[in-house]
Amino acid sequence: MALPNHVGVVLLAGFQELEFWYPVLRLREEGVRVTVIGERPDQTTFSELGYPVMPQVAFADVPADCDLVIVPGTHKPLPAALADRVATLVRAASQRGLALAATGSSIATATQSKSTQGKLTTALGADDLPAFLRTLTGGSSKSLHAQIAVLCEHQYQELELWYPVMRLREAGCNVLIVGPSDTQIYGSKLGYPVIADLSIDEVNADDFDGVVIPGGFAPEGLRRSAGIVNLVRDLNERGGLIAAICHAGWVLASADIARGRRLTCVSIIKDDVKHAGGNYVDEPVVRDGNLITSRLPGDLPDFGRAIVDYLAKEPSKRRGDRRLAPSRGRGYATAAYSGPANVVMVARGQASANYMLTVVDSAGK
């Protein structure tokens, strides 16, 4: 498939977060115009976990110059009336000769119209999104062979972790999610669960070409781990890629690698970055040598493009040839989930005034 010029992405209540956002952001990275299509442009639509999005146009107003329509999946069955409206939209797009794509639960809705046969590109779920976008972009992504660590902790921002993971997987990198533990379920700010591929005790800076540090409030937990801070510091000293977004500037400060560097971050922590010696600028993405920084989820297209371009041009900084794989013979961390991770505060000990974050199930265990 050739790279489209203008893509309409359908927004449905209860949408699967990555099945919606990865195509939107990835296509923006390629410079494609993206229009979000929903029930009412003046009404916020929420994902299964509560991610809020406002559409730009209504179902009946698909722009005339669209050449591709994408229907992301949802976690819950659509009400009959809404399913009918989506089917009508798909049928009308097909009759106009537009290319069609659907993911997850929306594949069945998109295939109700016989006119979609031969025109439909699909992905069964969130883990298939890298291959899905490789098809939709005509294989435009560079083919890389880097080994990258993406860090995780509780209260990470959903897209700031998963977009780099999927973007670099799409580019051919061996991407390992690394956390303080490889058995703990880590929950995002909205409860999107992830289990690390490897614990910090199983890796060292020699293993990686680079590290991506997501934002949200996860950096507060990441900077408490001496192993995490040492990994970032050691990788920086070896000249490896350090990519940090949003609140990840806290980790740069703790690793003492902000000093004298030109960088950006979410504006609320700019004073922290300045006090750590960083030269803060308010730009979507900033590169200073091996350091790439961005501000917010909306900057992920620029962030992803900068990371891929860096890895395509810079020689590998790995000192060994060990190809890492998830611990205990598991598959790579999955982006699919059946329910939210409930992140709560628990006491650190009997009669202690201190507490910590953990994930509990619906029974509170």
Contact between 133 and 163 (Cβ < 8 Å): no
Told to judge if 154 belongs to the known catalytic residues of this protein, a careful annotator would answer no
| Length of the chain in terms of residues written | 365
Give the amino acid at 311: L
Q: Which two tokens stand for residue 205?
A: 């800076």
SS3 82: helix
Exposed, middle or buried, 122 (CB in 10 Å: 0-12/13-18/19+)? middle
Distance CA 166, CA 130 (A): 6
Distance CA 36, CA 4 (A): 15
From residue 252, alpha-carbon distances to 255, 262, 266, 291, 295 in Å are: 5, 12, 13, 10, 14
- Residue 347 backbone phi and psi in degrees, to 5: -65, 145
For 111, which DSSP code? T
Q: Which of 75, 154, 247, 275 is catalytic?
A: 247
Give the amino acid at 221: G
Reported as type and span, the H/E element at residue 81 is helix 80-95
First to last CA, the chain: 48
Contact between 199 and 221 (Cβ < 8 Å): no
For 332, which DSSP code? P
Exposed, middle or buried, 260 (CB in 10 Å: 0-12/13-18/19+)? exposed
Contact between 309 and 328 (Cβ < 8 Å): no
- Residue 304 backbone phi and psi in degrees, to 5: -60, -45
Catalytic (active-site) positions: 247
